[in-house]
Amino acid sequence: MAYKIPLFNLNFDDREAQAAYDTIKSGWISTGPKNAELEEMFAKMLGAKYAVSITNCTDALHLSCIVCGFGPGDEVLCPSLTFAASANCVRYTGATPVFCDIVGPEHINIDPKDIEKKITPKTKGIVVVHMAGFPAKMDEIMAIAKKHNLKVVEDACHGPLSEYKGKKLGTIGDCSAFSFFSNKNISTGEGGMFVTNNEEYAAKARLLRSHGMSTMSYQRATGHATEYDITELGYNYRMDDIRAAIAIEQLKKLPGDLEMRLEVRKQYLERLSKIEDIVVPFADNTEFVSNYIMPVVLMNSTKERRNRLREYIHATGIQTSVHYPAIHRFSIYKEYGAVLPQTDYVTDNEFTLPMYAALTPEQIDFICDTVEKAVNEIR
């Protein structure tokens, strides 16, 4: 069944199709001039020194963990209320993710107090996630990192152009990763970006994304190089120019798209804040944010009731989701034995409402009416 109001819709028109077509016609479709253009645009947009385009965010997170020096025997702190890639990336390096709790339903990002509690002599870093594009408590987190000499990786998948005290998310830690997966704020199907202000990290990420090769095909095809050496054990984490061309069109639309999402969020907040026992996380945020998703948390409730509520809402043609099924409960992480009471409550009682620029005021009203009815009728 197709939902009348989906969770997300692509902000695509003829420009993305034309950009892909033009790139195909140009004769160069793998990593080349379009990637270079995209990287320059992206770095400039964030006010960051370096941006390196990557196959997807998961691989950008993997490279982040490598350049930060995580490895076997190390512990890296991360939230559990996020997508699995935020913890899996730590394991790719042989290090161990140690799950930290979130602050609570009003602030569903990692809790600096729990970070401090979980630091051991083995702790080497923190992976921070900015849920829905709302900043984690970066001042506290960066102060803890400085005190204990930890590296900070920002999983900024949800937050392109989001701000924290005037700085763009993804430019505060040691390095960061963005996603261009279909349902993200910037959509290319698959795609991602590694961002850093550290020259050495940028050079290493660039090398590792292409097999550790000292030159790229494009440099050789354009006569800038004739041979290559392999200087590191690298990967193939390159983005092709077809996707980069689509990303460039998406970046041009991003500020306008986010302005419209702000209006959607505003209308949601006005309506939802009047419904008893519903908490909208980050309701007190006043900074510019990307509004990647629209999470709400039911208070004094249960997982079973949340699920029935979602079924009720789905029956009216509105899609919802859960962000996220907590990682520490997945089969491959159960043995870690993490105890995270706030995360447990939110993962059982959260659901996510539709969020995209083209949502109309009438649609938002209909969604809020439906949520209100569901909350009142389902006990």
Ligand X SMILES: *Cc1c(COP(=O)(O)O)cnc(C)c1O
Quick one: 128 or 150, whose CB is closer to ligand X?
A: 128
User: Shortest CA distance to 156 belongs to which of 247, 286, 42?
Assistant: 42
Q: Which one among 31, 58, 349, 352 touches ligand X, defined by CB under 6 A?
A: 58
**Nearest distance from C-beta of residue 138 to ligand X, angstroms:** 16
Question: CA–CA separation, 245 vs 250, rounded Å?
Answer: 9
**Nearest distance from C-beta of residue 379 to ligand X, angstroms:** 33
| Contacts to ligand X from residues 332-351, by CB under 6 A | none
DSSP symbols for 153-172: EEE-TT-TT-EETTEETTSS
Q: Which one among 11, 86, 171, 347 touches ligand X, defined by CB under 6 A?
A: 86
| Contacts to ligand X from residues 95-134, by CB under 6 A | 129
Question: CA–CA separation, 82 vs 58, rounded Å?
Answer: 13
Pairing of β 50-54 and β 192-196: antiparallel
Q: Which one among 11, 23, 56, 187 touches ligand X, defined by CB under 6 A?
A: 56
Structure-derived torsion over alpha carbons of residues 296, 301, 302, 305, reported in degrees to the nearest 10: -80
Q: Does 57 bind ligand X (CB under 6 A)?
A: yes
Specify which residues 220 forms β-bridges with.
none
The span of 79-87, 199-207, 229-237, 263-271 binding ligand X (CB under 6 A) equals 79-87
The span of 3-11, 78-86, 203-211, 258-266 binding ligand X (CB under 6 A) equals 78-86
Say whether the peptide bond before residue 336 is cis (omega within 30 degrees of 0).
no
**Nearest distance from C-beta of residue 153 to ligand X, angstroms:** 11
Beta strands in the chain (DSSP E): 50-54, 75-79, 96-100, 102-104, 107-110, 123-129, 151-155, 163-164, 167-168, 175-179, 192-196, 278-279, 294-298, 350-353
* Residue pair 100/115 in contact by the 8 Å Cβ criterion: yes
The span of 54-62, 211-219, 263-271, 276-284 binding ligand X (CB under 6 A) equals 54-62
Give, in order, the Cα–Cα distances in Å from 210 to each of 67, 94, 353: 15, 21, 39
CA angle 265, 266, 267 (to 5 degrees): 95
Quick one: 54 or 368, whose CB is closer to ligand X?
A: 54
Q: Which one among 39, 114, 154, 155 touches ligand X, defined by CB under 6 A?
A: 155
Specify which residues 5 forms β-bridges with.
318
Size of the site for ligand X (CB under 6 A): 14
Quick one: 73 or 189, whose CB is closer to ligand X?
A: 189
Q: Does 281 bind ligand X (CB under 6 A)?
A: no
Query: From residue 167 to residue 186, what is the string marking binding to ligand X with x (rule CB under 6 A)?
Result: ------------x-x-----
Q: Does 53 bind ligand X (CB under 6 A)?
A: no
**Nearest distance from C-beta of residue 280 to ligand X, angstroms:** 19
- DSSP letter at 53 equals E
Q: Is 328 helix (H, G, I), strand (E, B) or coil?
A: helix
The span of 56-64, 132-140, 210-218, 310-318 binding ligand X (CB under 6 A) equals 56-64
Quick one: 81 or 98, whose CB is closer to ligand X?
A: 81
Pairing of β 50-54 and β 75-79: unpaired
Quick one: 141 or 374, whose CB is closer to ligand X?
A: 141
**Nearest distance from C-beta of residue 54 to ligand X, angstroms:** 9
**Nearest distance from C-beta of residue 186 to ligand X, angstroms:** 10
Q: Is 42 helix (H, G, I), strand (E, B) or coil?
A: helix
Query: In the complex, which residues of this chain contact ligand X (CB under 6 A)?
Result: 56-58, 82-83, 85-86, 129, 155, 157-158, 179, 181, 192
